[in-house]
Structure 1
Amino acid sequence: MTKLRLSLLAFLLIGLLAACGEGAATTAPTANTAAAPTVAPTYEVDDPAVTDVPAAATTAPASGGAVDPSKLSPELRVFAWGEYIPEDVPAKFEEEFGVKVTIDTYSSNEEMAAKIRAGNSGYDLIMPSDYMVALLAEGGYLAAINPANIPNLANLNPENLGLYYDPANTFSVPYMWGTTGIAYDKTVVTPAPDSWAVLFDPAQVGQYKGRVSMLNDEREAIGAALRFVGNDINSTTPADLEAAKAALLAQKPFLAKYNSDNVYQDLASGEVVLAQSWSGYTGLAMVDNPNIEWVIPKEGGVIWQDTMAIVSGTPNQYTAEVFIDFMLRPEIGASVADFTYFLTPNTKAEPLVSPELQALYAKLVPDAATRTRLEWLRKGDNATLYSDIWAAVKSE
């Protein structure tokens, strides 16, 4: 694989999001309780190029400004997707600020949302995907973010901001983005697939029985089934969802598992040779298994963006905003990209991404024709219908 030039990477990033027309991913602790802040060292933003930062109070972490140690809490509790934060990042934050970061993980937006909606989750910061930001904000579960405390917002690509789910970025900050499609082992799955039919048509998927997986994600799995049967990926029409349910039930006997946690490991090892997957997970599998290939089906795939958002009512909002700002530092953003193999929205992190990952982007970033087939998952009306369909599929 050849090394991609940064300019190409930036062009593809802008083109993908613009083409989609939307510019402009364990047991909870006890509930948060207010505590005396731990004294932490002050710091200055070490990138002198950070400009155009909103005016802020003297306590805000701005370019040349400092964090106010008296406002920091002794602990920050984060609820995130599995394997989404590099292992050394919490320790780096604690070393610099004296704040212990506890991270618990979830496998789907719905799993996370159920705990947040139940109340007293104990979490300060979560990482909802685009459509879930809209749902949680609508329900009053997210706090409005103070951008004055996050000067590194200036590092984000404008094309990743102002999207449909949070037009003013009132409640969320972009973390990573990517696409959803099909990963397959080219030495086993032949001919090369170009349609969701390879996962849903019994005559096709049956050839790989027991070596196939789908994402353990109700919106992703049902969305793929909706596209296979020829319906809108965000449809909430009962008849459309029943058709998707039937496709999922017909598919189920051929599956090895539903897996959103480590599908890349299954693909790399050969345990699974055909999978609905996220682009970053596919990239991770490609590193260990060069036979893994990636395709966005002709019927259409998904474009998505995961975010950082603060749980409404947390007494640790300032600390959460300092953590978000920390995650938006260029070197931390690059570290996250290299760890997850997803696409970074951080333009200043792009030059720091490893050459190996930049080379993989040649396979993972879609071309112009493919970009026209990518859709956002949206919250829609009667969104609970998806949960009902998914529960029925999983229970049979």
Structure 2
Amino acid sequence: MKRFAVLLLTLAMAFCCAAPAFAARTIEVTEDVSVSDDYDWTRFQGQNLTLNVYNWGEYISNGSDDSVDVVAAFEKLTGIKVNYTTFDSNESMYAKLKSGAANYDVVIPSDYMVAKMIAEGMLAPLDYSNIPNSQNIDAVYRDPDYDPANAYTVPYMLCTTGIIYNTTMVENAPTKWADLWDEQYAGNILMFNNSRDAYAIAAFKNGTSINPETPEEVDEVVETLKAQKPLVQAYVMDEIFDKMIGGEAAIGVYYSGDAITMIDDNPDLAWVFPEEGSVLSVDCMAVPATSEHKEAAEMFINFMCEPDIGKANAEYIGYTTPMQKVWDILDEDLKYSEIAYPSEEVEAKEKVFTALSDEVNNELDVKWSEMKSYDEGGSGVVFLMLLLAMVALACFNIWRKLRKKTRNQY
């Protein structure tokens, strides 16, 4: 709520100064959804067109629990079929696009990954005349550092990282990221299974930047993650839903909107913004440079920026909307949620990711992989010994066969 304070004043002044106007005409798509009538939503009907949309898991209103089925509503309105698939981290999404293993028309990367993809020519510049609803995005989220010319992206949702914990399994509520290194939680900690978010947590603990500038900075922080590894039950992304809701772990780290969903499903769960600070991320809608249906992809993005659609998505997934028009019509419980719309004190400690240099990125990738395979208990040595034993056995069998062949010659 605090993020909109300045904008609220601006809008109020504009409203007071403007002359009354006729209400905008709308098209009813479903009982709960109407869209603006001044956009040609039907220009692709009859063309048997399919859009490939690649989004985070659990990140769109899908029709369950009496919610709006956003994809079905778009298909009904436009006649365009949507092939909707999901990923669980920026890194896995990037790797799939980079490999050319699949062709997508709309993707939803986070801010730092947007900057990387722009630099590598992976995103197509948008034609904003096809996305007039992009004007619904609040001014504070336009021309961001990750897309300074505002040429490639339209913000979708905002989220903040924090700690989710089970009140029946944790005696004293955690207050800081450093609590995730407390041995009392050994075997009961769920950690991010992606390098940037996990790195940020350790950097907050160490009091260093979440955006390292040198390989040496990376090495120091990853050592902190390595020290935590024996306490970690699992490195997870979407798997955290089942584990925390099912009481399989005491404490975990994740994103604010998903925390709201988990708490709704298990009231024993609670959330805290750690005192060291949190990461504020902006997830954006973009069109890959390889898209074969760019104009239809821009229509999908425009649809997602309709106030009724933004409302349906925000209320279903619990994330923070970047559109004042959506916030105005949200359900009151979400509208004033301290998780989705935190206090000014929490906001003051928020940090944002920036794109890393290739050298630092490569170091982080290498050290993260090494950390994940690191085992203080020595299972790596055991594995090596087993491997050597297998080689020795194979050599022995070869020797036996050669010896038998030699005997048979006499």
The normalised TM-score by structure 2 is: 0.78
Rounded to whole Å, the distance in 2 between the matches of 1:126 and 1:65 is 23
Rounded to whole Å, the distance in 2 between the matches of 1:90 and 1:363 is 27
Distance 1:368 1:15, change over 3 A: farther
Q: 70, 76, 94: which is aligned to 1:89?
A: 70
1:90-109 superposed matches below 5 A: 90-109=71-90
Which residue of the partner structure matches residue 32 of structure 2? Answer: none
The secondary structure found in structure 2 opposite 1:80 is: strand
Contact 2:121 2:289 in 1 (8 A): yes
Do structure 1's residue 342 and structure 2's residue 342 form an aligned pair? no
Distance 1:131 1:141, change over 3 A: same
Do structure 1's residue 154 and structure 2's residue 135 form an aligned pair? yes
Rg larger in 1 or in 2?
2
1:186 CA displacement: 3.2
Rounded to whole Å, the distance in 1 between the matches of 2:159 and 2:25 is 27
Rounded to whole Å, the distance in 1 between the matches of 2:110 and 2:362 is 17
Rounded to whole Å, the distance in 1 between the matches of 2:277 and 2:302 is 35
Contact 2:319 2:340 in 1 (8 A): no
Contact 1:135 1:379 in 2 (8 A): yes
Q: 216, 229, 237: which is aligned to 1:239?
A: 216
Contact 1:294 1:364 in 2 (8 A): no
CA RMSD of aligned residues (A): 2.4
1:91-170 superposed matches below 5 A: 91-119=72-100, 121-170=102-151
1:358 CA displacement: 2.8
More deviation in 219-228 or 262-271? Answer: 262-271
Contact 2:137 2:323 in 1 (8 A): yes
Give ranges in structure 2 of 5+ residues lacking alignment: 8-22, 27-34, 63-68, 375-410
Matched to 1:266, the amino acid is: K
1:15 CA displacement: 7.1
Matched to 2:38, the amino acid is: G
Contact 1:235 1:241 in 2 (8 A): yes
Which residue of the partner structure matches residue 384 of structure 1? Answer: 362
Rounded to whole Å, the distance in 2 between the matches of 1:284 and 1:356 is 13
Rounded to whole Å, the distance in 2 between the matches of 1:278 and 1:314 is 29
Rounded to whole Å, the distance in 1 between the matches of 2:356 and 2:221 is 17
CA-to-aligned-CA distance 1:220-256 (integer Å, 9 cap, x gap): 0011112212321111422322222222122122222
Do structure 1's residue 278 and structure 2's residue 278 form an aligned pair? no
1:13 CA displacement: 4.0
Which residue of the partner structure matches residue 188 of structure 2? Answer: 211
Rounded to whole Å, the distance in 2 between the matches of 1:62 and 1:315 is 26
Rounded to whole Å, the distance in 2 between the matches of 1:64 and 1:371 is 37
The normalised TM-score by structure 1 is: 0.80
The secondary structure found in structure 2 opposite 1:348 is: helix
More helix by share: 2
CA-to-aligned-CA distance 1:293-321 (integer Å, 9 cap, x gap): 22222222100010100000322000000
CA-to-aligned-CA distance 1:298-352 (integer Å, 9 cap, x gap): 2221000101000003220000000001111111111111221111112222233
Rounded to whole Å, the distance in 1 between the matches of 2:110 and 2:186 is 31
1:192-231 superposed matches below 5 A: 192-200=173-181, 204=182, 206-231=183-208
Which residue of the partner structure matches residue 283 of structure 2? Answer: 306
Identity of aligned residues (%): 34
Distance 1:124 1:65, change over 3 A: closer
Aligned positions, number = 343
More deviation in 71-80 or 167-176? Answer: 71-80
Rounded to whole Å, the distance in 2 between the matches of 1:374 and 1:388 is 27
Rounded to whole Å, the distance in 2 between the matches of 1:393 and 1:236 is 20
Return structure 1 stretches of 4+ with deviation > 6 angstroms: none
Which residue of the partner structure matches residue 69 of structure 1? Answer: 43
